[in-house]
Amino acid sequence: MSKSSPENPVAFTMGWGATVLGLFGGISLFLPGPFKDFMLAHPLWAWAGLMLLLIVYRQIVAWNLRSSEDRQSKLWGRKVTALSNHWSREEIRLAAEFKKKESELFRINREKDDSLLNERLESMKMNGGFHTYLAEGVDHRNLSYSFIVQLEEQLTKWRRDWREFFDPEVARAWERFTAAAAAYQSKVSEYMWTKDIGDNLHVPPEWKDSDHEQYRTAFQELEMCRTALYVALNELHRIQHAKGITAPLQASDTSATPAGMARNNLIDPPPVPKPM
């Protein structure tokens, strides 16, 4: 319906009719003619008719206003419902789009974590040379020089690497591992010596007689740090497996029990070295 058209044609017509008749009756009082004569001859009925027309007009106007308000209320109700439905659909669409982007970002970050962890553990794979020697071959009376050089080189590379892990679990495990590696390397530098570069390292045997307490402490702390490093490295391997990070295994004999480790990865107290 256009703006120029009446909202209620019946009420509009009756209202204007009552208005016209009322005006005509009022004007006729001052014009000569039969209507004026009737008004003068029957003033009671004439004025009652005019009052009735005015009352009818008032009621029609009130009815028209109520009808208009009802129509406006229904119209706004439909508009509000339509707008609410639109925003509900938009909210669902935006939530689905956000979830999709969040999943895509998680997948991208997961791939970056996988690649970075595999790169950093390339020389320390499960059952690889470093891992096997750390578990079964470490003897602090005669420690492989190349083993410690490899550990020091890896620590230097990791300290230069500014990249970080997105997954908090991986980041925490990596932080524990690098801290354990640095602690073990520090204890080796503190307690172990070599005669010439390239020779195996050892705790100075003369400490056994000159400073037996330090000799005993050296073996205890070295073994504790080695065990902590082994546990931290195994935890990274566990996370690789749990999160589906494809890290290839290297074949090795896994029948031997790792030194210093108890069942379920619980750490046994480090053995007290016997006097040599």
Which of 252, 261, 271, 244 is closest to 118 using CA atoms?
244
Are 76 and 180 contained in the same domain? no
CB 143 within 8 A of CB 201: yes
The token duo for 222 is 């070295």
Nearest to 228 by CA among 220, 218, 217, 239: 220
Same domain, yes or no: 190 and 156: yes
At residue 96, the pLDDT reads: 80
pLDDT of residue 21: 60
Q: CA–CA distance from 182 to each of 7, 143, 175, 270 (Å)? A: 86, 17, 11, 19
Domain limit, last residue, from 109, 133, 149: 109
Residue type at 239 in one-letter notation:
I
Model confidence over 85-124: pLDDT tens digits?
777 777 777 888 878 787 887 788 888 888 899 999 988 9
What distances in angstroms separate CA 69 from CA 53, 81, 150, 237, one per listed residue?
24, 18, 86, 73
Q: Is residue 273 part of a domain?
A: no
How many separate domains does the chain show? Answer: 2
Asked whether residue 92 falls in the same domain as residue 169, the answer is no
With cut-offs at 50, 70 and 90, classify the pLDDT of residue 255: very low
Query: Helix 212-242 to helix 43-120 angle, to the nearest 10 degrees?
Result: 130
Residues 104, 150, single domain; the answer is: no
Task: For residues 261 and 263, give the distance between their C-alpha atoms in angstroms, rounded to a whole number.
Answer: 7
Same domain, yes or no: 148 and 98: no
Q: What are the tens digits of pLDDT across the range 149-203?
A: 999 999 999 999 999 999 999 999 999 999 999 999 999 999 998 877 778 999 9
Model confidence at 252: pLDDT above 60 = no
Domain C-terminal end among 65, 87, 109? 109
Gyration radius from the chain CA atoms:
48
What pLDDT score does 265 carry?
33
Boundary-marking domain end, from 79, 109, 139 = 109
Examine the domain organization and report whether 166 and 234 are in the same domain. yes
Distance CA 5, CA 7 (A): 6
Query: What's the pLDDT score for residue 240?
Result: 85
Among 45-54, 69-78, 176-185, the minimum mean pLDDT is found in: 45-54
Is residue 223 a part of any domain in this protein? yes
Domain shared by 141 and 252, yes or no: yes
Residue range of the domain that includes 27: 9-109
With vertex at residue 265, the alpha carbon angle to CA 180 and CA 226, rounded to the nearest 5 degrees, is: 30
Integer Cα distance of 2 and 101 in angstroms = 47
The verdict on 93 and 42 lying in the same domain is yes
Does one domain contain both 91 and 152? Answer: no
Residue closest to 166 by CA, chosen among 174, 176, 154, 177? 174
Judge if 61 and 82 occupy the same domain. Answer: yes
> Residue 3 domain-assigned?
no
Residue position matching structure tokens 């209620």: 8
Do 153 and 181 share a structural domain? yes
> Are 180 and 260 members of one domain?
yes
Q: Is residue 213 a part of any domain in this protein? A: yes
Reported confidence tier of residue 249, pLDDT bands at 50, 70, 90: very low
More confident residue, 209 or 67: 209
